[in-house]
Amino acid sequence: MKCFYQDVDHNGKGAAALVKVLHPHCELVGLDSPELPWDSIEPGEVIYMVDMALQPYTEMVRLADYCDFHWVDQHFTSIMGLKALGVELNGKQEFGRSSIELLWEYLHADAPVPLAIKLIGAYNRWDHSDPRTLLFHYGLRLENTDPGNTALWTKLFAHDTTHVQEIVERGALIQQFVEREYQDYAKQAAFVTQLDGGIRALAINRGLTGSPILDPLFDPQKHDVICIFYFQASLLRWRFSVYKPASSQSDANCNDIAAKYGSSLGGDFNAANFSLPYIPFKLPLPK
């Protein structure tokens, strides 16, 4: 039994951890690209794929025909790509939800959703109506969130919220530091450029972060989207994340932006990722 998951955030890692906690013998395989190590899969083997999809999408059909396949995903591109093929796969796919929330429902039916899953899911969906959402996200950075660390995830998936509250409290301290660091870094490194189609992007070269680093500088009169990018040495490629803040007045679709660059890693209207071996936009010239 194997679980393939997108190894880039707590949504994908947490979803994989759900499988691992329920099936301790499951082998976890984190992927940051839609390519699968086919040689490692046995015919008829139980395979979970969470928070990601293979490309081309016909490979998903091939995998489903080859093994006992369960696919749980939230990404609009992938869901529509499979619908276009006229194929329905086992699992649970739903746009507008987070993969970890969908997988909990798939594995545990009507059981109450643990607070940790609610907070991870809300952060992934850009829903910060619960003030603990961002704080929990920051606090998790101090934890070993590898999905194989079942000691941590078992506590997080429990309905005793003691450990979740401890993480939230630590996150409040981290937030103060991060916001100050973001402010200083953004003032020095942010710039405006254009993406394909003339979309105005407020951009910054900063790895392993998200849109909050540029949110305070985003001006809907001057910018359409936020673009965070960095060089991913392990893959020898540049990784790009495109976000559309709630204040944006643009009709830009982040998923369409990623698709135009031909290397979509999945996304939706307000957030999407892609990777390329080069930077596809102009960098600012020295003044």
What was the pLDDT predicted at 135? 96
What was the pLDDT predicted at 118? 97
* Environment class of 256 (CB within 10 Å of its CB; exposed 0-12, middle 13-18, buried 19+): middle
| Cα–Cα distance for residue pair 241/267, rounded to 1 Å | 9
| Cα–Cα distance for residue pair 177/7, rounded to 1 Å | 26
Regions of the chain where pLDDT drops below 70: 33-34, 263-266, 285-287
- Residue bearing tokens 């707590």: 10
What was the pLDDT predicted at 126? 81
What was the pLDDT predicted at 272? 87
* Environment class of 219 (CB within 10 Å of its CB; exposed 0-12, middle 13-18, buried 19+): exposed
| Cα–Cα distance for residue pair 108/142, rounded to 1 Å | 28
What was the pLDDT predicted at 12? 95
What was the pLDDT predicted at 265? 60
What was the pLDDT predicted at 286? 65
Q: What is the pLDDT of residues 62-84, one digit of tens each?
A: 999 999 999 999 988 889 889 99
Number of C-alpha atoms within 13 angstroms, CB side, residue 285? 1
Lookup: tokens for 77: 């591109």
Instruction: Give the number of other Cβ atoms within 10 Å of residue 38's Cβ.
Output: 10
What was the pLDDT predicted at 34? 61
What was the pLDDT predicted at 143? 96
Q: Which long-range contacts (CB under 8 A, 24 or more apart) does 199-204 make?
A: 199/224, 199/225, 199/250, 199/252, 199/257, 200/224, 200/225, 200/250, 201/225, 201/226, 201/227, 201/242, 201/281, 202/226, 202/227, 203/227, 203/228, 203/229, 203/281, 204/228, 204/229
| Cα–Cα distance for residue pair 152/177, rounded to 1 Å | 25
What was the pLDDT predicted at 46? 98
| Cα–Cα distance for residue pair 252/197, rounded to 1 Å | 10
